[in-house]
Structure 1
Amino acid sequence: MSSVHPPGLDPEQLRGHLDRERPGLVSGPLSARLIQGGRSNLTYTVTDGTSRWVVRRPPLGHVLATAHDMKREHRVIEALHPTAVPVPEPLLLCEDDSVLGAPFYVMEFVEGTPYRTAEELAPLGPERTRDTVLGLVDTLVDLHAVDPGSVGLGDFGRPEGFLDRQLRRWGKQLDASRNRELAGIDELHAVLGRALPASPSATVVHGDYRLDNVLIGDDDRIRAVLDWEMSTLGDPLTDLGLLVMYSQKLELPDSPISTTAAAAGHPDAQELVERYAARSGRDTSAIAWYTAFAWFKLAVILEGIHYRYTLGQTVGAGFDRIGDLVPVFIEHGLTTLQEG
């Protein structure tokens, strides 16, 4: 009798593959549950009743190979697993579409909490909240301290001209989803282009580093950094700029964008930057540019979501309010550059 299973993962097919590739890993019938879906890569928990694992695969339907490359994601966590950077242990990569209908990988299940809102952090209290967020900075320093070549990631990206390429890429992304006037966004893009900072030596960058992309243990330490789909070799300060942007208080009631900055005890942007600078030894004097770039990038992402909403291509709550957020992000970006 075939059991009901989530879309995109047939437990019997997976069990057969694991029994062939990792004999003895699984000790009973598997059941699976989708824990994170959407346009991003799909994440499932899988259990045989005794042990648990996590499976990642691309979204259902047609996807761009470069946007959802399982091999890249698996490669970066496999390279980082022996380092000081906490990542789940990767157990298996399968590039054969015949098993689940798409490439996928299996990794260990890590216990921990992803904190997405200030309300979720509140029970920790101010001191523990502060320690948790500062731990986020320390782990970022650990990531950026890894020598890419020494862990087999020397060819993981093209660091030369990284910032210029990023700016062009997000500019093109904006052009692809324009159907209304957005005051200030072209100005923000142009000013960022005129003021490109000189990048420090390239490191592995996460690309979407924030509190709700890590799992925090009961001891308030980071147990695992997740969601490596944007990772590459590039300018480490782009990760810090994004972290600084997410540490700003957004006075937006009912915002669908998660921010934990309003939690009591949450360190402010200056403290995060100073801690990163002290621990990494990097010059962070151009952090205003990187933070403004993060505001720009998020404005473009949100405008893309708004654009698809206006075309009737998104389903779910909160999408009707996304369009109102975009001008706020543009304004923050411009203000950050002026003040920097």
Structure 2
Amino acid sequence: MTHPPAGFDTASIGRWISQRFGVSDFDVEVMSIGRSNLTFTITVDGRPRWVLRRPPLGHEGGSAHNVAREGRIMAALTDSAVPVPTVLDIVDDPEVLDVPFVFMDHCPGFAINTPSDWSSIPDESKPDCAFGMIDALAAIHSVDIDAVGLGDLRRPGGLIERQLRRWLGQVEQIATRETPMIHEVHDVLLKSMPDPAGSPVGLAHGDFKPNNMIFAPGGGLNAVVDWELTAVGEVLTDLGYFIAMLTVPEEYTSIWVPTPADGFPDTEALIARYQEVSGHEVHDVGYYSAFAMWKLACIREGVYTRLKTGQMGDLDLDPDVAGEGVEDLAGQALTLLERP
């Protein structure tokens, strides 16, 4: 390989692949690279064979980029009803790579990132594709975390309570301006939080949306990926997030998602399907969607701050536009919270 991609040490990883799998001739392609975990496809004889996932460049710790934890979760779900890539190894050896990485079989298919991705699925299969996402979400939430060895992911207190505290703390730590809307919505979310005792608790993916899944050409779901934010807690946070991502303007997330105008089922149909297959009584969806939008506002404030301080110089974004998105997202969350 003439120009190995940044973050992939071809020599040392190549030795490890040769020793582990008996293959010495391969190529590497970047699947995704940026501020999230980095993903590389390893091809043999011109065909994708493996995937390597590692922390981002300049990684300095933090659970959101803990690929070993992510790999462990996927490995634990291998024999469950949740479709996941096949994890072959979780490596933490500085002689192979200076950071831990997860090594997986390549899962064929595509994520839904653009209108053309969605349009490649036959129209008659689009509803089944969408409901297949909901079925996968219900499967995640039905996992017996103790039986699969993930019981240690439990943390004291409710998931929403923990995340309200965590996200507000992060905003207060990095913000370079007053953030009244974030604080106002936080206070309303805290005051109107559903009783955790009345909410189903289980494994929550944390970032469940169409571009974090791999689909077959006909729309069948091959795997759910990107388990960086997985936790144990109120599972309806996942459903609220999924629904929120279908309604938040693309300019605030940089993510395209299909809508009912594109042949995607409406919110009521998605909720009904989830309730049917999960057995959970769905309640307070507006609250959980508002909670998701508030988190997106917090993330947007971080983007604004880094743009203002020159820490995202590689992105051609207007800081003021990013800043306006914070107010809009928080305002949408507040509107949802104020609905009867």
TM-score (norm 1): 0.91
**How many residues matched?**
335
Segments of structure 1 that go 5 or more residues without pairing to the other structure are none
Q: How far, CA to CA, are the matches of 1:324 and 1:118 in structure 2? A: 26
Counterpart of 1:17, as a letter, is W
2:153 equivalent in structure 1? 156
How far did 1:249 drift?
Answer: 5.8
Q: How far, CA to CA, are the matches of 1:46 and 1:99 in structure 2? A: 16
- Correspondence 1:203 to 2:199: no
Structural mapping, 1:130-279, within 5 Å = 130-158=127-155, 160-182=157-179, 184-199=181-196, 200-248=199-247, 250=249, 256-261=254-259, 263-279=261-277
Q: Residues 221-245 of structure 1, C-alpha deviation per residue, up to 9 Å, x if partnerless?
A: 1111111111121111111110010
Q: Name the CA shift for 1:255/1:295 in 2 (closer, same or farther; >3 Å).
A: closer
1:41 to 34, 37, 58: 37
Q: Name the CA shift for 1:191/1:255 in 2 (closer, same or farther; >3 Å).
A: closer
Q: Name the CA shift for 1:85/1:255 in 2 (closer, same or farther; >3 Å).
A: closer
Give the share of equivalent positions with the same residue, in percent: 35
How far did 1:179 drift?
Answer: 2.5
Structural mapping, 1:298-313, within 5 Å = 298-313=296-311
2:64 equivalent in structure 1? 67
Q: Residues 264-316 of structure 1, C-alpha deviation per residue, up to 9 Å, x if partnerless?
A: 21122222112111211212111111111000000100111111011111122
TM-score (norm 2): 0.91
Counterpart of 1:109, as a letter, is H
Segments of structure 2 that go 5 or more residues without pairing to the other structure are none
Counterpart of 1:78, as a letter, is A
- Correspondence 1:326 to 2:326: yes
Q: Name the CA shift for 1:178/1:103 in 2 (closer, same or farther; >3 Å).
A: same
- Structure 1 residues 315-324 or 169-178, which shifts more? 315-324
- Structure 1 residues 324-333 or 238-247, which shifts more? 324-333
* Structure 2 counterpart SS, 1:35: strand
1:16 equivalent in structure 2? 15
How far did 1:202 drift?
Answer: 2.5
Q: How far, CA to CA, are the matches of 1:53 and 1:166 in structure 2? A: 34
How far did 1:65 drift?
Answer: 4.2
2:284 to 261, 266, 286: 286
How far did 1:84 drift?
Answer: 1.1
Q: Residues 299-338 of structure 1, C-alpha deviation per residue, up to 9 Å, x if partnerless?
A: 1001111110111111223454432322221111011111
Q: Name the CA shift for 1:183/1:156 in 2 (closer, same or farther; >3 Å).
A: closer
The ranges of structure 1 where at least 4 consecutive aligned residues each deviate by more than 4 angstroms after the TM superposition are 252-255
Question: Do the aligned residues in 2 keep the contact of 1:185 with 1:330 (CA within 8 Å)?
Answer: yes
* Structure 2 counterpart SS, 1:106: strand
Q: Name the CA shift for 1:279/1:266 in 2 (closer, same or farther; >3 Å).
A: same
Q: Name the CA shift for 1:244/1:159 in 2 (closer, same or farther; >3 Å).
A: farther
1:108 to 105, 108, 113: 105
Q: How far, CA to CA, are the matches of 1:254 and 1:60 in structure 2? A: 24
Q: How far, CA to CA, are the matches of 1:149 and 1:253 in structure 2? A: 40
Q: Name the CA shift for 1:122/1:307 in 2 (closer, same or farther; >3 Å).
A: same
Q: CA RMSD in A?
A: 2.1
